[in-house]
Amino acid sequence: MTMNFIMFGPPGAGKGTYSSRIAPKLGIVKISTGDIFRRIIKEDTPIGREVKEIYNAGGLQRDDLTNQLLKEELEKPEAEKGFILDGFPRTIEQAQALEGITKTDAIINLIVPEEILIEKLSARRICKDCGDIYNVADIDKEVDGIRYILPPMSPKEEDKCDKCGGEIIQREDDKPEAVKNRLDVYKRQSLPVIEFYKDKVPFVNVKVTRGPEVMVDKIIDMLKEANLVE
Ligand code: ADP
Ligand code: ZN
């Protein structure tokens, strides 16, 4: 049985954190288009420079390029048992392209209020070398009657990645101007993707009110309850 999931949600909701922690538990791979673009940016090529300019401003990359890169990942043997897509599809055109390649079993839809997103994004850090995600925010607040307790996700050793020892840095697009643009782009271009899937694919709607130490197991339980995993 293959399991093909989409991890959906606004920037800063935790798509990267949850897909990288849940995928190995299900024996499937995580495919992050953001990670793919960050790798491309590191190569100092004409296409890398083009991607970098868009990325740093918090804009979306071209659909044709993004779809092609995703297709190449899906064709790899590692993706045979299934996958969690982190950050794809982000436009209707991408969702249509995905439909043409393979089936989707469910959307894991991460829900976080904008106020919390902004706080999380500005406090996010990543490993320069392997992309592992950290966060220095220490959030405990109520929004619309719901309490959010999101403790920091710190590396064991200061400024050093737990996984590879790499340097921990702030992403260029986590700086305030780009964050604002990313949230706008999300509302304009990515939210419609929800409508596109609404009557086609089951949704697992997750309010991210706690950190991964609680939410990872909770999401897996929700997938089990919906008979989406064994
Ligand atoms: P976040 O969800 O926090 O914005 P990502 O790492 O998923 O972070 O994306 C970072 C950037 O990578 C985006 O702003 C965009 O430039 C590029 N990107 C990632 N996925 C896509 C996609 N599916 N389509 C177009 N651009 C993408
Ligand atoms: Zn690392």
Dump pLDDT digits (tens) for 10-51. 999 999 999 999 999 999 999 999 999 999 999 989 999 999
**Active-site residue list:** 15, 90, 124, 171, 182
Residue 17 to residue 174: CA distance in whole angstroms:
16
pLDDT of residue 172: 92
Which residues, 6 or more positions from 185, have their beta carbon under 8 angstroms from its beta carbon? 58, 59, 60
Question: To test ligand 1's pocket by mutation, which of 31, 37, 118 has the most ligand atoms within 8 angstroms of CB?
Answer: 37
Atom of ligand 1 nearest to the CA of 10: 2
Q: How far is the CA of 28 from the centre of ligand 1 (A)?
A: 21
pLDDT of residue 1: 78
Instruction: Let me know the angle formed at the C-alpha of 102 by 108 and 41, rounded to the nearest 5 degrees.
Output: 75
Residue 68 to residue 8: CA distance in whole angstroms:
20
Residue 2 to residue 175: CA distance in whole angstroms:
38
Binding pocket residue ranges, ligand 1, CB within 6 Å: 11-12, 15, 33-34, 37, 54-55, 58-61, 66, 87-88, 90, 94, 173, 182
Q: How far is CA 108 from the centre of its chain?
A: 11
- Residues 95/89, Cβ–Cβ less than 8 Å: yes
Nearest to 80 by CA among 102, 105, 96: 102
Atom of ligand 1 nearest to the CA of 35: 6
Q: How far is the CA of 87 from the centre of ligand 1 (A)?
A: 6
Q: How far is the CA of 161 from the centre of ligand 2 (A)?
A: 5
Residues (pLDDT < 70) of the chain are none
Atom of ligand 1 nearest to the CA of 88: 23
Nearest to 84 by CA among 113, 63, 58, 109: 109
DSSP H or E segment with residue 142: strand 139-143
